[in-house]
Structures are given as structure tokens and as C-alpha cells.
Amino acid sequence: MNETGQWQIPEEPKQLLGAQAYTSPEWFAAEQKTLFARSWIFAGVISDLANPGDFTTAQAGPYPLTAVRGRDGELRGFHNICRHRGTEILEGAGNMGSALVCPYHEWTYDLAGNLRAIPDQADCFPELDRDALGLHGAGLAVFKDMVFLHPEPKADFQAWLGGVEDIAWPHDISTLVETRDVTYEMNCNWKVFYENAIDGYHLKYLHRKTFGGPAPTGNDWVPKGDHLVWYYTEDGRKSAIAKTVADRIKSDNRPTIAGAEAADYGGVYMMFPTTIALPNPYNFSVSQLLPLGPEKTLIRSRVWGIPGSKGRVNQNIEASERARDPRTGHVKIELLDCHPLETRDHQLEDMWICEKMQRALHSPKYSVGALAKGGGGEATMEIFQEIVRRMVQLDEPG
């Protein structure tokens, strides 16, 4: 880090984490307790919480959390556990009307988290003080219409942003319509996918048929606090979208979002640890990593755009729609009816390569020979791994 507290791109980048960090149940358990439990987690957007009683849920390590719109119009964050026996109260997202009711014994809370009713209280809990058993509060913050939750009510959101607010995208989600909501299921560790996302070296090669570049010298990842912001730089200026992609879209006469036309902002915002914002002149999407285990990760991707648009820019969604699990609705690589590199879907290309990486991590011959230099290479992987190491309280992995 420099004197301003910002990370610097290492001149000689190196791998800091061993294979166990990506495969070990012990490592994953430690991350749950000391990394995710101390992190701001994406919980939805303002339009999800428009009316009194609306709620969304999120998981921060071992902590189930919820955001609720009160009758007074205020947004509040709570730990999503009943004060009776600790049962999770809410699932997913929706509207609970005027009260939050635990499904187990129907202890009832108002939308401000106060315990208002206990069935059979006179007989079962005659001396219980309801005022002392309101829901535990959680941290809640809103940034660019995105709602975040934190297990600690007084967690410092501004410190976590780390300067991202100074270089944020211009998009106003409230003026857009949600055009896609899809969940991908990957057989890999969440860090494998994160590191793939911040690897500028692979864009020209793995994504030859989708992005077609840029080369490592034509893109740059810029650290902001513990986050990383990606820019296309091949034409001499910082842009949210590669020229090859922009030219292809312009030829289709695709309409742009008002205020976002210039693309003079980042194209990917990796907001540590699990939120990925992807703005461009044509739509805005948020992908959220949902780690389920050391070798299983979900990615929920939501897209907003102009009515009639589909998916993310330069993404062919037909193959992924055919690869949805009929039970869960999740998109899985093993359900594709063609090779991932033939789908023209960069998300499926990334999933395919991440699962290949995960399998290789179990080989006794696995090692990292070198990392590509520069912000458009693989150097930011060292920054990411150092942040993880500092937060995870565990002995150095082998």
C-alpha cells in the first residue's frame, strides 16, 4: 500500500495462496467466520424494497441477514433469526405485510424489529419482557440504489467503499427495467472465479470468440480500497467497454442508456468480497458470488436495461437457457448441449475454465509457475490474495 492507503500493482507478482486455500473445508470454514462475517454483502436493489413489508435476505458467513422496509418508509437491517429459539424467520425476498412472523412458534415482530406478540404468553412466558427481545440489528447501507448488509450494526460502509464512489458508474437503476435474473452453479471455489475475473491476461485467449481481447497492454485493473476496477485502455483512454465489442454492438443500432453513453467509467467493479457490478452504455448488471462450500459456488446475475434488451452486452444467452437444471433453475456446465467454447457466452467460458482450474488444484503436480505482470495481466491476483490472507485467521496453507 502507498501513503494514501491504496494498494499498488506489484512489479513482480507472485502467488500467495496454496492449493488448500481453494480446496480445504478448514479454509472455507475460516473464511466464513473471519472474512464473510466481517464483510458488506449485496442484498438487492431499492426497487426490491419499494413498499412497507418488502424484504430481502442475504448471508454473511454464518449470519443470516435481512433488509426490511418499515411502515415509516425507513430501510432497516436485522439478523434474520427469531429471539425465541434462533430460527430463520424469512426466506428469499417478498412482502410480509405489517409484521415479521417466525414460522416455528409465530413469535411476531413489527417492521421495526420490535417483538409485539407471543402466542400463549400468559401461560408459557408470564414474566417475559418483550421489549428486551427485539430483533438484533444489522448494518445497512445504500450505494447507487444497491443495498448492502453487514452483521455489525455500526460497520463503516464509507471506509469499505474505499474511494469507489469517486469513480462510480452514472447509471440510475431506478430508471431501468430488470431484463434477466439467472443463477449459475459452478464446481469451483469462489476465489477461483474471483481470480479469473481479475485476470486481464486471459481476455484475448479464452474469450477469443466472445470478447476477442484486449491484450494485457490494452486493459487495466485499478485498486480502490480492497476493490478493483477494470478499464479498457487500448485506444489511449479509459473506457468501460472494449472497442471490438463496442463496434459490434453499434452495428446493431442498439439503444444506449441516457447518461451512460460516454463509457468513461469502469467496465467491471469487483467489490470485495462477493459483489461484481458491470456497467456499460447498454445495460447494468450485478453478479453476486454465493459460496456454498470449498468447491461449490453460485453466481446470481441480475441485469437491468432498456425494455426489450436481453442479458449482458455481448452475451449469447440461448445456450445457458437450455442448460438450466429443471429442479433448481440453475445453469450448469454439464447440462450444455454443446462445448462451452462454442456457446458464444463469456460467462459459460469462464465457468468452464474455473471448473478445470478447480480439478487441477487437487493434482500433486499443481503449482503456479509465474504471474503475468501489470494491471492488465495477473498482478492484481497478489493484491486479492493478500487481502484474503489478512482476513482469514488460519495458518499458512500448504
CATH of the domain at 349: 3.90.380.10
Q: What percentage of the chain exceeds 90 in pLDDT?
A: 90
Residues 372 and 261 both lie in one domain: yes
- Give the count of domains, the chain: 2
For residue 106, pLDDT over 90 is answered with yes
Residues 239 and 339 both lie in one domain: yes
Identify the pLDDT of residue 310.
63
Residues 49 and 113 both lie in one domain: yes
Q: Is 19 domain-assigned?
A: no
Secondary structure (3-state) at 179: strand
* Interatomic CA distance for residues 386 and 341, integer angstroms: 32
Identify the pLDDT of residue 166.
97
Among 104, 121, 154, where does a domain finish? 154
Q: Is 74 domain-assigned?
A: yes
Whole-model pTM: value is 0.96
Q: What is the DSSP letter of 156?
A: -
Peptide bond into 214 cis (omega under 30): yes
Residues 78 and 199 both lie in one domain: no
Angle formed by the axes of helices 190-197 and 380-391, to 10°?
150
**252 pLDDT tier (thresholds 50, 70, 90):** confident
* Interatomic CA distance for residues 215 and 233, integer angstroms: 10
Task: Give how far the C-alpha of residue 36 lies from the chain's centroid of Cα atoms, to the nearest Å.
Answer: 12
What is the domain extent for residue 105? 41-154
Identify the pLDDT of residue 395.
55
Identify the pLDDT of residue 100.
98
For residue 233, pLDDT over 80 is answered with yes
Across-strand partners of 117?
108
Residues 154-163 have pLDDT tens digits of 999 999 999 9
Among 154, 182, 206, where does a domain finish? 154
Nine-digit cell at 138? 444489522
Residues 127 and 70 both lie in one domain: yes
* Interatomic CA distance for residues 207 and 213, integer angstroms: 7
Identify the pLDDT of residue 398.
41
* Interatomic CA distance for residues 93 and 67, integer angstroms: 9
In SS3 terms, 86-124 reads as CCECCCCEEECCCEEECCCCCCEEECCCCEEECCCHHHH
For residue 112, pLDDT over 80 is answered with yes
Residues 48-90 have pLDDT tens digits of 999 999 999 999 999 999 999 999 999 999 999 999 999 999 9
Q: Identify the residue whose cell numbers are 455481448.
A: 314
CB-hemisphere CA count at 13 Å for 175?
11
Secondary structure (3-state) at 313: coil
Residues 83 and 187 both lie in one domain: no
